[in-house]
Each structure stands twice: as structure tokens, then as C-alpha cells.
Amino acid sequence: MPIEGGKTDMERIGLFSEMEYITVGDKYVSPFNRPFNEAASKNRQILPGGTKEMSNLQAGYFDPQFARIFEGEGYVNLNQVRRRHMMEEAKKNLAKAFIPSSGDKKPCGLGSYYGTIGGPVPSFSAQAKPREQYMPPGKNLYTNPGKKGTGYGYANITIGKQFSHSSDLYDAARQNFKKENEEHHRLLKGAPFKLNLYPRDYFDTNPYFTEKPLPPIKKEEKKESLLSPFKPSSPGKKPGGMKAGTFEPYPSHSTDLYMLKPGKEVSKKDDKVFHPPSGPKSRPIESIMSMNVKRALNMKNYKTASLQSY
């Protein structure tokens, strides 16, 4: 629609033409029911024809017919090429092939050079090298010949002088103690100190001491031994369903009056009896043997461990 100024709405916006309304009148299709790829569900799809296996037939290759790498090349025999190469190498020989005069020589023992090319090696020779004559050094200076003897039971063979024999008294320890005790009493002055404020001994009196005369000694009464064994006056009575064999007469029957069982009184919170809680409850404990088995066997080594055990 033109406005004041002579320009239409499309010219004012800057577009060449108005966009087409291609969806006008189309049916509404929910995005949940719409297929993800409509082209994949229409017409014929790619048919590869299955996998091909490698064989001597042409069907195992991609090309319809077998193609050669080189066209028109000649047939080459490998044996013929080898013989030709050997003939060319034989022409280079100036004379006949070297043949030794005799076979290989075998050594006749360990360390023998028989059969070797170089012969004996002087550095490995077992012959002693020439040396100067050994002159032993002189002996040490002797001031006095050594004393003979092993040391046990021989006198005057040590460096120092022999110990002199001194006899010990048999009761020397007792005599020394007696002398020390006499010297100790000689140094004491006066008698030992005693406190006379209270006539009482240092220790407590004997609680079992008494000044009362002791009662006369009781004579043990000798029991007269029974010469004949005891026999009851009459044999024991047997129970005949009336309690005749008991010591006491059978009690008389007393009827009990019918009484209602007293009901439980509802006590207050303060009157509740304290019930201590139960002790610690036991729990399942695995044995040491099963724990060691689980440590030794796991999901990685159960196959190898079972084979080793057998």
C-alpha cells in the first residue's frame, strides 16, 4: 500500500519481492510423529548385494576381469637366471678352486696347538719367566733363648717374676668380722637410749596372752561300736494308690474359692521399673581361614591358584 511520498511498503523495507506463503493450507504434522529422515523411508535404498569371499573366481575381485600389471612382458625362468649369474661369476676365477692338501687337523689334547694356523702363542706359555735368585732375609736378634714349656705346670717361663705362695687362714672372714665388731663396741659410749616416760614396750602387747587359768582338757568320748547291723522293725511300706508308704499321713483335701485374677494396674511414668539395656549383640564374624582364602584367591588368579593347589 503506497504511503505519502510515492513508495510502497516493499520498497520502504528494501526487499525485491514479498516472500511466498508455501505452507498455507497444509495439514499440521506433530514433530513427535514426524520421521527423522523422510528420504530414508521412501523409494529403494542402497543394496550392496552381500559380502564377497576371496577365491579363484572373478567374483571375489572388484574388477569384472583380471587385469595384468604389465602388458606384453616376456616369461622369465628363475632357474635360468640363477645359472646365468653363476656362469658369469665363474668367468672371474683366474685358476681352479683352492683345495687344501689334506683334511682338517684335530687337536690332540687340551692346550695343544696342533692343527692351528698360527701355532703357539708366547704370551700364553706355561714356562716360568726368569727371575732373580731369592735371598731370604736374616733372622732377628736373639738376646736370650726361648723358655721351654707350655705354661701350665712350668715355673719361671713368664715375662715377670713368679708369684710367691701365701697361705690363707681357714676362718679368716670370721676373725675379721669379730675384730670389726669389737672395734665398733669400743667406740660406743654408754648404754643404748631408753625412754622411761611411759612403761610400755616398743611393740604392742600380745593379744592372745591371758592370765586366767586354762580350762581343763576335754576328753574325747569314745563311741561304742555297734556289733550287729541295724535292722528295721518292719519292712518298708509300698504305695498302693493311697499314700500308705509315706512318713506322714496324706493331707486332707481343701477346696479353693473361685477368685478373679487381679488385673494389671496402670502405673505412672515415675513408677516404672528400670530395666537395663541388653548387652552388645553378636555379629557374624568371618573366620581367619576364610579371610586368608579370599586374600589368596581373587578374580584374577583363581584359575592359576586352583591348578597349583592340585
pLDDT digits (tens, 9 = 90+) for 91-112: 998 888 888 777 777 777 777 7
pLDDT exceeds 60 at position 80: yes
Burial class of residue 9 in the structure, from the number of CB atoms within 10 Å of its CB (0-12 exposed, 13-18 middle, 19+ buried): exposed
SS3 content of the chain, % helix, strand, coil (to 5): 20, 0, 80
Half-sphere exposure of 102 (CA within 13 A, CB side): 4
How sure is the predictor about 182, in pLDDT bands with cuts at 50, 70 and 90?
Answer: very high
242, 250 contact by CB (below 8 A): yes
Query: If phi over 0 gives left and psi between -120 and 50 gives alpha, with beta otherwise, what is residue 49?
Result: left
Average pLDDT score over residue span 153-179: 83
3-state secondary structure at position 174: helix
- Summarize the confidence of residues 128-140 as an average pLDDT: 87
With b for 16 or more beta-carbon neighbours within 10 A and e for fewer, the 271-310 pattern comes to eeeeeeeeeeeeeeeeeeeeeeeeeeeeeeeeeeeeeeee
Question: Which has more confidence, 126 or 178?
Answer: 178
- What whole-number distance in Å separates Cα of residue 215 and Cα of residue 217? 6
Q: How confident is the model at residue 168 (pLDDT cuts 50, 70, 90)?
A: confident
User: Is the Cα torsion angle 89, 91, 97, 98 positive or negative in sign?
Assistant: negative
**Could you report the per-residue pLDDT of 211-221, keeping only the tens digit for each?**
888 888 888 88
Do 105 and 114 contact (CB within 8 A), yes or no?
yes
Query: What is the tens place of the pLDDT at every residue in 262-295?
Result: 666 666 666 677 788 777 777 778 888 888 777 7
Query: Which pTM value belongs to this model?
Result: 0.16
Residue-level pLDDT at 5 = 60
Query: What integer is the mean pLDDT of 59-71?
Result: 75
C-alpha distances in Å from residue 277, one per residue of 5, 268, 280, 281: 102, 21, 9, 11
Q: Can you give the length of the chain in residues?
A: 310
pLDDT confidence of 1, banded at 50, 70, 90?
low
Assigned C-alpha cell, 111 = 692346550
Residues 120, 113: contact at Cβ < 8 Å?
yes
For the chain, the maximum distance between any two Cα atoms, rounded to a whole number of angstroms, is 167
* 41 pLDDT above the threshold of 70: yes
Cell triple for 221: 568320748
Q: Which residues contact 196 (CB under 8 A, 6 or more apart)?
A: none
Angle of CA points 148, 152, 154, to nearest 5°:
50
